Every structure is written in structure tokens, then in C-alpha cells.
Amino acid sequence: MARPRKPLLSTDRIVTTARELVDAEGLSAVSTRRLAAELGVSGPSLYNHFRTKDDILDAVADSVSAQVDLSMFEDGRDWRTALHDWAVSYRAALRDHPNIVPVLSRGPGRRPAGLRVADAVFGAMVEAGWPPAQATSIGALMRYFVMGSALGSFAGGFVDDATAYDPAAYPHLSQAHLLADQQEKIDERAFETGLTALLDGLAAQFEQLRRGRS
């Protein structure tokens, strides 16, 4: 038998194509009609793999969650180091796919990769000695912080036009027009500064917890 001219439709092909559309054009670009056209198939054939567009977006979100490294929770790193390294990996995945963050922000729901992330973080915190309620709060806190950092660029929010910031109106923004040119460096430094402060605070709480137990 001759091979088909186009690759057979698969779940992975649909998710990959949908993710590329989301990355390039945003969530609104994804529709079953657009996806079918991109894949070179008829629209109804997509329903053999996904029931709805929302199911496709859920799968795209989960494919991004699957890019997050979880090895730090399994190789003996202390809880603080593990949280730091996980947060860096988590942010990297979201930074590469920022347009899917609104879907991810709804929580893992039934998504396997998202649930593995939640399970790994919670399990590692409980195993380290955090009470379950506080371990849950830590997981939520880290998610808020990392997702917030991925939603936009502080430095990129300023234009590179020196005349845009009148010293009479904004006396402390005379150098703000230089921020956009240093966007990546500033945003990385801000993320590390916030992450360190967050982990310092958790470490202080953990020490108080340990003292209370002794």
C-alpha cells in the first residue's frame, strides 16, 4: 500500500499545532476550523481526538506543564533548593509559552502533567516536614508568584523614548526609557530577587515551626 501523502492525524499533532498557534497568535487563534486547515484535515476528524476546543486548550496547557522539571524533588535536594530550582524551570516553561498562562491559571483540573507538578511540590514539602495545610499554601504561593512573573515584563512596559517621561511629571523616571533595552536582564534579576525573598520568608517560618516542635 502507498503511504498517505500527509501524516496521519494524532493527538500529538493536534496539540503541537494548537500550541504553535497559541504561541504565535494567542488563544483566540485556536478554533476547530483553523486547526483543521493547519493540519490539512476535515474539521469533524478532530472530534475523534478531542470533544471541544476547550479540551484542546487543556491539552496544550498540559503539554507546557510537562516541560517543567521535577527531578529536584527526587534527587535529595533540600526543600528550599528544590523549590528554587523548580520555580526557575516552571518560569522558563511559561516564559516560552506565555499565551497559555490564562488556561494554566485555572489550576490543573484533570490534566495529568499539571497534577504531577502539584503532587510533586506538595509531597516534597510534606516530606520535608511542613504540615499539609502549609504545604498546600506553599504550592499555591509559588504558583501565584511564578505565573505572575510570566504574564508580562516590567521592564518591557516602558518605551525607549526619553521624551515620554516628563521630569516635571515623573521626577524619578528620568532613566525609565533605558529599561526596555535591558528587559531580559532586569526581569531575570527581579524574579531572582523576589524568589529569594519569598524563600527567605518560608525558611524563617520553617525554623519557627521546628522550634515549636522541639
- Could you read off the pLDDT of 12-28 as tens digits, one per residue? 999 999 999 999 999 99
Residue whose grid cell is 494524532: 10
In this model, does residue 5 exceed pLDDT 60? Answer: no
How many whole angstroms separate alpha carbon 205 and alpha carbon 131? 12
Taken in order of first residue, the domains within the chain and their CATH numbers are 70-213 (1.10.357.10)
Alpha carbon distances (Å) from 150 to 64, 87, 90, 97:
13, 11, 10, 9
Predicted TM-score (pTM) of the model is: 0.88
26: left (phi over 0), alpha (psi -120 to 50) or beta: left
Q: For 44-78, how does the pLDDT look when each residue is reduced to its tens digit (9 = 90+)?
A: 888 889 999 999 999 999 999 999 999 999 999 99
The whole-angstrom distance between residue 144's C-alpha and the CA centroid of its chain comes to 10
The answer to whether the beta carbons of residues 141 and 121 sit under 8 Å apart is no
Average pLDDT over residues 143-150: 93
Query: 141 CB contacts (<8 Å, ≥6 apart)?
Result: 198
**Contacts (Cβ under 8 Å, ≥6 apart) of 113:** 62, 63, 65, 66, 68
